[in-house]
Amino acid sequence: MADVRPSPQHAAAPTISADGASGNGILRTLFRSELGGHEQVVLCQDRASGLKAVIALHSTALGPGLGGTRFHPYAGHEQPEEAALLDALNLARGMSYKNAMAGLAHGGGKAVIIGDPDKVKTEELLLAYGRFVASLGGRYVTACDVGTYVQDMDVIARECPWTTGRSPEQGGAGDSSVLTAFGVFQGMRASAQHLWGSPTLSGRTVGVAGVGKVGRILVDHLLQDGARVLVTDVRPDAVERVRAEHPEVEAVADTAALVRAEGLDVYAPCALGGALDDATVPVLTAKAVCGAANNQLAHPGVEKDLSGRGVLYAPDYVVNAGGVIQVADELLGFDFDRAKAKAAKIFDTTLSIFERAATDGVPPAAAADRIAESLMAAGPSGGEV
């Protein structure tokens, strides 16, 4: 286990690239770049179980870092370990902003377990990981993310009391995808209110890229609201499952086809990050982007490109905060109605960001960052959004 502890600072939202902001690597980024400023980075290895993991704490200004554990192989990268570290750093920073905007008494943290969960995930590995999280003494509270599930949190919790997203049978809140999707839907309703004067997607065409845990539930909300829904996913079985439940949903070959779909009103990226890049933004037909994926902006400047094309962007870390609201409530003794009521406030928060963006003359992403940074600077007494 190795720690990297630069002085805490609140970095802006852009992601860290593989070469760092100054071209001198990850350590320079952590210690010297404005994109760094993480309080602590923990490298975890357990030879017996094969565990290799990264835990990143970006800020504890508002309370213990809270964020999920991602289990992913990073197989398409020349250096999987470095890619995992960068992912953890970017995700942890996003959680600082997300938790601040959600009005939670938590800072930002995130963890990544390196490997294919279908091949290497074992009880022994999860228990070893739980011991590493527990060694932080409550500075980091973990939960589910891509590749980890409620049953995994139940195992981790056997070694670590700072574990949320557990099953109801173990005193937990269960699958956080439910309120994640609900929150994204509230952000989408706010986008519709801002663009078209009514908080509904009825009669609108929405394209959902990624219909896994969250995207599938989001489709349910959209259909109930009267939207026409197009979907795509790299896993054909995920699309087939949605269409079996809702034959009226239209399948699209891939994301490239979805973003170019004629008549698209809203694009909802609900898979992995980087969905909004230099290839996608110029061809995007939607008038708004609002989805569940983290770190949707592939690099700094994309938010300006979206605004330049007249595309309204609902900042991802604001609209997808329903899940973290749910798991944070678990620490209080989970009450679904209380958590859902808090997640419903994402509608008002998203509208306030659009208003701040118009007032300041900046893209919504920049407006959200400014609000989040002011909340973190104010500390725990700053109150809710």
Distances (CA, A) of 268 to 42, 79, 176, 369: 33, 30, 18, 21
Q: Encode 80-103: b = buried (16+ Cβ within 10 Å), e = exposed.
A: beebbbbbbbbbbbbbbbbbbbbb
d(CA 44, CA 333): 30
Contact 128, 49 (CB under 8 A): yes
Distances (CA, A) of 283 to 140, 228, 262, 277: 40, 21, 11, 10
Which residue type does 369 have?
A: D
d(CA 121, CA 134): 19
Q: Encode 225-255: b = buried (16+ Cβ within 10 Å), e = exposed.
A: bebbbbbbbeeeebbeebbeeeeebeebeeb
Q: Which residues are catalytic?
A: 110
Contact 313, 303 (CB under 8 A): yes
Q: Which residue has the tokens 């898979």?
A: 271
Report which secondary-structure segment, H or E, holds 322.
Answer: helix 322-330
List CB contacts of 295: < 8 A, sequence separation 6 or more: 15, 90, 91, 94, 273, 274, 316
Largest Cα span, the chain? 58
DSSP for 98-149 reads HHHHTT-S-EEEEEEEES-HHHH--HHHHHHHHHHHHTTTTSEEB-B-TT--
> Tokens standing for 239?
């699309």
Tell me 163's DSSP state. B
